[in-house]
Structure 1
Amino acid sequence: VGDKAFCTGGNTAEYSAYYSRRPNEYGEYMDLFNAMVDGILNCKKPTICRVNGMRVAGGQEIGMATDLTVTSDLAIFGQAGPKHGSAPDGGSTDFLPWMLNMEDAMYNCVSCETWSAYKMRAKNLVTKVVPVLKKEGEWVRNPLVRTDAYVDDGELVYGEPVAADQIKAARELMAQCSTDFSRLDAAVDELVWKFTNLFPHCLMKSIDGIRGKKKFFWDQFKLANRHWLAANMNHEAWLGFNAFDAKKTTGRDVIDFVRYRQLVAEGALFDDAFAEQVLAKPR
């Protein structure tokens, strides 16, 4: 996703190999993560998230802690926790209900779908979206996403994926394009210059006034969430992260959720034998 994306959210290989079944270690990891989020929320300068690629899971939580977001139109946004053994309690369960309406916040949080930059702009999660693809000197909007219409046959389509039969042509067009981040950089510079021409103390008082609402629930829940995330390393995170990390071996990045629910309903002991029944076998 984009030319520079190399990582998003937590390092699931590390979660699987080291942190699973080591809840105390993961708790200390979360202490550092929470301190980073606190650092963003307490920074006495405006914070801008410049997005290219993926802002998913922990990356989405860090991004929402910032004050404003400008993004490449190739970027995608979302959560992954409930699909892979965790909950987005590093900020998303606190920030999403402020930044989206409650219905969208709930669905975005638990569906584990990724939404396009244009869809997030339409829902006001980001400030500005700019194209980064160029063909023969002309800017090309992300061809994998609908930007040609807002409504089609009564359905809201702006920012939604193009139809399945259009994906191949869209990817072929992308392959013919070069990538140019000058408009993304210019959008950041524009915000910086706008802030430069404001009274600095009045600016930061205003920003901290808005941040206080984001911090309200974050500060209430971050410690309890830290302990739950640590304890969960002995539970569903152990299964979810191992399933994700073994994808190259098994061909699947998730557990057998139906079998998992059946075993839970039967009152089965959560042990290695349990795990063997829900984790995919090597190919």
Structure 2
Amino acid sequence: MVRGTIDLSLLDEALEQLCTKLLYTMPGCLSKTIESLRKHKREHWDRNRESNRAWLSLNMMTEANAGFRAFHYGSKQQREVDFVLLRRRLAEGASWGEELIREVAPWVRAPGKQQS
């Protein structure tokens, strides 16, 4: 994949055709159609939103906060945090935060990839 190319012209063309069809519809009908498509997703969210919201906020403050940055700052070989060190530091009572993330993040130590 690194050396190859993907021709997205057929996808672009199909998307353009779909957007053109949607352009020529009544705005209210289009909104209703989109709402209908999202109905099942919204029903699932409504049934689970309290626990999911709590999990998402907790996760974004901790694990995801460290993990998502790995894809931006880390090279392919240096994306994963040091999970053993992370568990050890948490067991020692370390608090989640920038200091802990920098301590366990390999991309912080990688030359030319450091966050400011």
TM-score by length of 1: 0.26
Pick the structure with greater CA Rg: 2
Structure with greater helix percent: 2
TM-score by length of 2: 0.48
Q: Which has the higher contact order (CA 8 A, sep 6+)?
A: 1
